[in-house]
Structure 1
Amino acid sequence: MSRFRRTLRQTLTIARRDFIATVFTPIFLLFLFAPVIMGSFGAIGGLGAASAADGAQDKVRILAIVPATLARPIAQTDARLRAVFRADEAPPTLTVIAPAADPAAQARAAFDRKDLDAAAVLYGPLDRPQILYGPRGDRAADYLALLAGTSIAAERLGGALPTVAATKTAIQRRGSSIGGQHQSAFFAVFGIFFLTLFLSGQVVGTMAEERNSKVIEVLAAAVPLESVFLGKLLGMFGVAVLFVTFWGTVVSQVGSLLPPQMAAGFGDLAPAVGTPMFVLLFGAYFTMAYLLLGAVFLGVGAQASTMREIQMLSLPITILQVAMFALSSAAAARPGSWVATVAELFPLSSPFAMAGHAANSPDLWPHLAALAWQALWVTIFISVGARMFRRGVLQSGSAKPFWRRAKVG
């Protein structure tokens, strides 16, 4: 048996061992259904917040203090203008009030009413209206000004604006739009970030238990440490693939039940390389992102011997992942800029940024170079991690991590 085949066999044996040890345990079911648990708590909190917001929003009004002769025309104009708004974008409900002896004082007093929250109040003649508005009521004030101007126009044209019979025709783009490409880019960056944030952190603690039980010393005596590290990384990646496959299947079935408007929103996602190639590249870059971050986390986590030290490493690991997401998001929003170039070349952010690049540019050759570049850095990180472990832990026999060991001499 050649050296390469023997090394490959040893690596796959370690990977199979770690995969089985992780998957065939009751705790894995808790990990697999963790998104349901987190989503349930999020949904409960979201429903409570939405209920409170809706209850407060129902009380918000815009007021028009106008004579009775203008009450009906301004209400008709309001109904006509609202037809162009979506339900969640429409101004607050209009309430028409007859003027009192002092309309200015009446308008100011409207903001102190207990039965409603006044966002903006109009009073005075419609050609020179006075509009008061409260916090976050500037858009409502603009709408009242438009409402006054449109009502005057309708009055001067005989009581109603002319009806325009417009012919509207929907057009399908032949290619992807810039907005669709940018949305696809952000979706790709966020998708890889979310998956790696949730999954790659599991690699940190894979060595701690075996260090404490001295199993790692037996493995290191029988198998090269590089094979141990790569095998453990591949085993945990297999767990990640199982997780993604399970939830990908669930989400694909739930997606068919989405409302037509929401499904149409996903249809606006239009990557420049085309959807089939984009899916393949997304999978490839998720793989490389997991291997790159996992190799770094495995090398650093191998220096920790206790759960407390592993927990202390969680914060810098999370900060690193968020930093890579921020850099790659900036690159996706500015394709071709120096920020994009830096993000695409830096090893840890390269998979994120190149996934966004696939959405913004139709060229395929940069992806071959990027995948080779990322694979090179996976090899480097695994080699460096294994060397640090060999010299810092096995050779010295010290259980202390490298950052806590005192220099000799």
Structure 2
Amino acid sequence: MSLRRTIRQTLTIARRDFTATVLTPTFLLFLLAPVMMIAFGTLGGVGAQSIVGSDEGLRMVVIAPPEQAGTLKEVDSQLRTLFSPKSELRPPELILEAPAGDPGAQARSMLNSGDDTAAVLYGPLNRPEILHVQRGWSEAQYLAQLAEQSLRAQKAGGAAPMSTPTRTLVSHSPVSSSGRGQAASIGVFGIFFLTLFLSGQAVGTMAEERSNKVIEILAAAIPLESVFFGKLIGMFGAAVLFVLFWATILVNAAQFLPVQITGDFTGVGAAVGMPAYPLLFIAYFTMAYMLLGAVFLSIGAQTNTQRELQMLSLPITIFQMTMFAFSLGAANNPGSWLAFAAEAFPFSSPFAMIGRAGNSADIWPHLIALGWQALWVAITVTVGARLFRRGVLKSGSPPFWKRRRATIDTSVN
């Protein structure tokens, strides 16, 4: 009967906090916050690109006599097949110019003309001279190869292809080790990003209840452990709503992505396979949110002012970044002592274990890890509730060392 009552009280607090969070205009802004982040990031990228400058409009120039123009054009066309048509590494336009007087002076005048000439080649093909600007290093390398291959073509009697290759696209189903490593890193980053964005709101929850004196009423009617668990579950419900909202948008938007983009992820796959990996991702996101949320809830409950609450934002972010770096290092070194330490430490365990799911096909370690993490959620909430009861509400039994001292003092009197 007591357990049922505790569960009912916890769910009552959870429902109260969930509705108080979701049924407000502010939550709509919270849902749309990623749109604002993407917009600001896009504007920043456009501004940075305009400051740095674009490589579009660059050109390469070869100063060569007209009798070499045909060979140079043919070799240039062949070399360009090494680059994808949409690749950013594709060389810029090649311009052929006939010599006019001093080729060296002609080349320098082209570079100083202000028409975005990246590199200029002149002289005989067996000893070419290449002048280039600071950002024209790759164009200079390309012109060097152009001269080399053109000279070979001249000695061979022409630049016509000597072979006719047959290209066949072969699809392979097994996921490579690099694909498993990518899946592990993506899982670690995904959980980190979600918890970084969502769990921080737990810090100010108890501070708000303290400022409006509601916590004293709740503590008088409900055990503080139920209050802490209820608030944690309520905030997690709001986080789940956020994740479902954006997951629905991203899944539907992925159908309109070009094949070139989706094809880059065909070799990425987790070792545990489907549907175990997404289920484990959900489970570990839940545990990561509960663990970090419980820590932040307990820390925020000890603050007295809004300034103290704001000062906690930096240490909390550093703690989350440390757990992320710890777990990412474990995901990149499976089976090492670093991986074992990250998997055993409770607050990095969810991140490290989703990385393990990407690298290893074993399922049984995840069952142990989820139980271990759930135990630490209960421990963190219990410790946080007791610290709040003793430090803020000034109630509850004293610590064991003070109890022993009080017993000795009583017996002496």
Asked whether the two chains share a fold, i.e. TM above 0.5, the reply is yes
Is the alpha carbon distance of 1:292 and 1:286 closer, same or farther for their aligned partners in structure 2, counting shifts above 3 Å? Answer: same
Counterparts of residues 360-399 of structure 1 (less than 5 Å): 360-395=359-394
Decide which moves more: 131-140 or 148-157: 131-140
* Partner SS state of residue 130, structure 2: strand
Matches of 2:59 and 2:312 in 1, distance apart? 51
State the match for 2:7 in structure 1. 8
State the match for 2:241 in structure 1. 242
Is the alpha carbon distance of 1:161 and 1:370 closer, same or farther for their aligned partners in structure 2, counting shifts above 3 Å? Answer: farther
State the match for 2:136 in structure 1. 137
Alignment-mate amino acid for residue 103 of structure 1: P
Matches of 1:40 and 1:47 in 2, distance apart? 11
* Partner SS state of residue 275, structure 1: coil
1:252 offset after TM fit, Å?
0.9
Matches of 2:361 and 2:155 in 1, distance apart? 55
Matches of 2:163 and 2:274 in 1, distance apart? 40
* Partner SS state of residue 95, structure 1: strand
Decide which moves more: 98-107 or 191-200: 98-107
1:293 offset after TM fit, Å?
0.8
1:153/1:161 contact within 8 Å kept: no
How many residues in Structure 1 have an aligned counterpart in Structure 2? 394
State the match for 1:95 in structure 2. 95
State the match for 1:70 in structure 2. 68
Alignment-mate amino acid for residue 366 of structure 1: P
State the match for 1:279 in structure 2. 278
State the match for 1:401 in structure 2. none
State the match for 1:150 in structure 2. 149
CA deviations over 1:350-401 (Å, ceiling 9, x no partner): 211211211111111221122122112212211221121111111179xxxx
1:279 offset after TM fit, Å?
0.6
Where do 5+ consecutive residues of structure 1 fail to align?
A: 398-409
Matches of 1:267 and 1:225 in 2, distance apart? 49
Alignment match of 2:83 (pick from 67, 75, 85) = 85
1:284 offset after TM fit, Å?
0.8
* Partner SS state of residue 165, structure 1: coil
1:48 offset after TM fit, Å?
4.9
Where do 5+ consecutive residues of structure 2 fail to align?
A: 397-413
Matches of 2:282 and 2:395 in 1, distance apart? 40
Q: TM-score w.r.t. structure 2 length?
A: 0.89
State the match for 2:211 in structure 1. 212
Is the alpha carbon distance of 1:83 and 1:285 closer, same or farther for their aligned partners in structure 2, counting shifts above 3 Å? Answer: same
Decide which moves more: 315-324 or 238-247: 315-324
2:61/2:117 contact within 8 Å kept: no
1:142 offset after TM fit, Å?
2.2
Matches of 1:340 and 1:240 in 2, distance apart? 28
Is the alpha carbon distance of 1:361 and 1:133 closer, same or farther for their aligned partners in structure 2, counting shifts above 3 Å? Answer: farther
CA deviations over 1:252-280 (Å, ceiling 9, x no partner): 11111111111222333211111321111
Is the alpha carbon distance of 1:336 and 1:100 closer, same or farther for their aligned partners in structure 2, counting shifts above 3 Å? Answer: farther
1:176/1:270 contact within 8 Å kept: yes
Decide which moves more: 213-222 or 42-51: 42-51
Matches of 2:298 and 2:75 in 1, distance apart? 68
State the match for 2:190 in structure 1. 191
Alignment match of 1:58 (pick from 56, 68, 81) = 56
1:289/1:352 contact within 8 Å kept: yes
2:122/2:130 contact within 8 Å kept: yes
* Partner SS state of residue 19, structure 1: helix
Is the alpha carbon distance of 1:283 and 1:148 closer, same or farther for their aligned partners in structure 2, counting shifts above 3 Å? Answer: same
CA deviations over 1:104-135 (Å, ceiling 9, x no partner): 344344432211142x3322221222333332
Matches of 1:268 and 1:174 in 2, distance apart? 8
Matches of 2:292 and 2:298 in 1, distance apart? 10
Instruction: Provide the identity percentage.
Output: 59
Is the alpha carbon distance of 1:327 and 1:65 closer, same or farther for their aligned partners in structure 2, counting shifts above 3 Å? Answer: farther
Matches of 2:253 and 2:352 in 1, distance apart? 29
* Partner SS state of residue 56, structure 1: coil
| 1:160 corresponds to 2:163 | no
Is the alpha carbon distance of 1:31 and 1:173 closer, same or farther for their aligned partners in structure 2, counting shifts above 3 Å? Answer: same
State the match for 1:125 in structure 2. 124
Moved over 4 A (4+): 47-53
Decide which moves more: 260-269 or 312-321: 260-269
Is the alpha carbon distance of 1:133 and 1:363 closer, same or farther for their aligned partners in structure 2, counting shifts above 3 Å? Answer: farther
CA deviations over 1:82-106 (Å, ceiling 9, x no partner): 1221222212222223334433344
1:347/1:377 contact within 8 Å kept: yes
2:188/2:324 contact within 8 Å kept: yes
State the match for 1:404 in structure 2. none
Counterparts of residues 194-343 of structure 1 (less than 5 Å): 194-343=193-342
State the match for 2:408 in structure 1. none
Matches of 2:376 and 2:366 in 1, distance apart? 15
Matches of 1:345 and 1:140 in 2, distance apart? 51
1:278/1:358 contact within 8 Å kept: yes
1:200/1:290 contact within 8 Å kept: yes
1:312 offset after TM fit, Å?
1.2
| 1:24 corresponds to 2:20 | no
* Partner SS state of residue 234, structure 2: helix
Matches of 2:134 and 2:36 in 1, distance apart? 38
1:104/1:123 contact within 8 Å kept: yes
Matches of 1:311 and 1:74 in 2, distance apart? 65
Matches of 1:134 and 1:186 in 2, distance apart? 39
State the match for 1:406 in structure 2. none
2:334/2:356 contact within 8 Å kept: yes
Output the aligned Cα RMSD: 2.1
Matches of 1:281 and 1:132 in 2, distance apart? 57
Matches of 2:157 and 2:3 in 1, distance apart? 90
Is the alpha carbon distance of 1:328 and 1:96 closer, same or farther for their aligned partners in structure 2, counting shifts above 3 Å? Answer: farther
